[in-house]
């Protein structure tokens, strides 16, 4: 089984992805997690999905909150990506030092400098093995005019556009 998992990770690692941070607010406390399993689903209605590992602390919070934001990261925010991917990091004040604003609809943090930002309300949560597939309707979005290239992930490493 372990051999199959390793081969699977190598195979799907050949699909280049962007990197984003998903955020939510529960009882006045901000929560955030780095993801690369994020994609568009539908244009009518506007739907996206994010996959969250069931054992991650973030899982319970994003499912319970029912609303969340996605900040698609530019290549100069690798440090934010790494920090919010760190398991077991402190929760109190975890966004201190990271420039962000509140989303106008959900109030979830949106990272300043993101190449795109979307606020979503959960419409469905599907079982996806050890992950949940969380589908959200886009209720607000921002695509700044900034020309910053996106942060990319390929074969287990951060990459840059050539």
Residue 5 inside a domain? The answer is no
Residue 20 inside a domain? The answer is yes
Mean pLDDT over all residues of the chain? Answer: 93
Domains in the chain, number: 1
Task: Give the C-alpha separation, 108 to 92, whole Å.
Answer: 16
Q: Which of 22-36, 38-52, 142-156 has the lowest mean pLDDT?
A: 142-156
Task: Give the C-alpha separation, 100 to 114, whole Å.
Answer: 9
Per-residue pLDDT reduced to its tens digit, 90-144? 878 889 999 999 999 999 999 999 999 999 999 999 999 999 999 999 999 999 8
135 beta partners: 49, 124
Angle at 24 between CA 106 and CA 94, to 5 degrees: 130
Contact of 150 with 98, CB cutoff 8 Å: no
**Domain range holding 107?**
16-155
Contact of 19 with 34, CB cutoff 8 Å: yes
Tell me what pLDDT residue 145 has. Answer: 65
Residue 4 inside a domain? The answer is no
Task: Give the C-alpha separation, 24 to 70, whole Å.
Answer: 9
Residue 9 inside a domain? The answer is no
Band the pLDDT of 146: cuts 50, 70, 90: low
pTM of the prediction? 0.93
CATH code, domain carrying 59: 2.30.110.10
Residue 27 inside a domain? The answer is yes
Tell me what pLDDT residue 144 has. Answer: 82
Tell me what pLDDT residue 29 has. Answer: 92
Share of the chain residues as helix, strand and coil, in percent rounded to the nearest 5 = 20, 45, 35
């Amino acid at each position: 089984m372990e051999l199959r998992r390793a081969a699977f990770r190598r195979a799907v690692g050949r699909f280049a992805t962007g990197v984003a941070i998903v955020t939510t607010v529960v009882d006045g406390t901000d929560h955030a997690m780095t993801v690369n399993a994020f994609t568009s689903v539908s244009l009518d209605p506007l739907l996206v999905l994010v996959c969250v590992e069931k054992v991650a602390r973030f899982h319970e919070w994003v499912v319970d909150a029912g609303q969340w934001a996605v900040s698609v990261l530019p290549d100069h925010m690798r440090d934010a990506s790494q920090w919010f991917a760190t398991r077991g990091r402190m929760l109190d004040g975890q966004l201190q030092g990271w420039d962000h604003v509140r989303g106008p609809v959900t109030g979830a943090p949106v990272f300043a400098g993101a190449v795109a930002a979307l606020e979503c309300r959960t419409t469905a949560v599907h079982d996806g093995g050890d992950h949940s597939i969380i589908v959200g309707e886009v209720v607000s979005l921002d695509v700044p005019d900034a020309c910053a290239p996106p942060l990319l992930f390929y074969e287990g490493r951060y990459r840059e556009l050539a």
